[in-house]
Amino acid sequence: MPRARIYMDWNATAPLLSEAREAVLSALDIDGNPSSAHGEGRAARTIVESARRDVAALCGAEPAAVTFTSGATEAANMVLTPDFRMGRTPIKLGKLYVSAIEHPAVREGGRFAREMTCQIPVTSAGQVDTGALEASLGAHDRQSGLPMVAVMLANNETGIIQPIAEIAAIVRTHGGLLVVDAVQAAGRVPLSIGALGADFLIVSSHKIGGPKGAGALVARGEVMMPSPLVHGGGQEKGHRSGTENVPALAGFAAAARLAVGNIESRMGAIAALRDRLETEMRSQAPDVVIHGSDVPRLANTTFFTLPGLKAETGQIAFDLEGVALSAGSACSSGKVGQSHVLTAMGNDPRQGALRISIGESTTQAEIEQCAAVFAKVAARRRTAGQAA
């Protein structure tokens, strides 16, 4: 009998939760448009507004401050704009400052012109260089408009957690807006938009076990909002037009409700599995480099380099052995290229790295199977090196 495959790419997309699946299927039976006033429409609207409350609870925000989108990429493009409004008063933003390790959806700058985007370096430990951020904001031309800073709470490749509270204090001092990509952090660390000091959070359904195709931009309040990216019928209070995806939002809500519970105990169990795997990896290949292991990081993520092993070769080798993992981010249509995150941390850009990311349904047996495959791959690398 062939051995069952094991899935260790949760940072790319988490397996769909049974509760989310059931919520989607139930919502598919609701025929009404949530903007319609009749009974069927009101039933659909009830699902949407219930989801808004659940996603708000996930982020420690007010329901009215949640705008649903088709995903995190749309939410990023919505909020990363130089054009904001405070009520009916236009507010101009002069420049966008993004960290060098951001997801491409943020790193590309959204609706800011390229010359209006500035990249902030990170340290060799993979955390934002707050001194460089302070210097950049100190030199910001206030006549051009307010500064905006966009930083992820937890990196999608390394899992490294950023010092958001410190960053938020710097941004506040310089009168800027702070956008936090919380896609990887949601459900894995407690989220509170107020405690983080963020003005906006970005979250995604399929990263927490909900269906693909749903996300949200969560604001601290409703006073200052970006100009709409999607125009049309004025849904989502005019912030994002288009009929809401009721079934996807129902699944998003179910996943959000589960994501807020027992985070500490859930992540503690996952961290124990990750640590067991990394111990085995170091035993089999003492030269393995586990990026971010000496700074705070997500409990579920191992981003590692085996010297002499190309990322694409390693990914294929694991896949052939029945282990699904990734070579960095899964945001580039399956392409395996050099990691901009490792480059930003000062590593050789030719150095490959593989990401193992696990979750609640990962078992001890799967960890042992993955460790055995790692041992095989490491041995083949040694053999190949000796033959060369």
**Residues catalogued as catalytic:** 331
Return phi, psi of residue 167, to 5°. -65, -40
DSSP β-ladder status, 66-69 and 215-219: antiparallel
Distance (Å, whole) CA 82 – CA 273: 44
Distance of CA 210 to CAs 15, 33, 71, 106, 260, Å?
8, 21, 11, 22, 13
Distance (Å, whole) CA 334 – CA 320: 16
Of 364, 376, 249, 255, nearest to 319 by C-alpha is 376
DSSP β-ladder status, 83-86 and 89-99: antiparallel
Which secondary-structure segment (H or E) carries 355?
A: strand 354-357
Distance (Å, whole) CA 60 – CA 163: 18
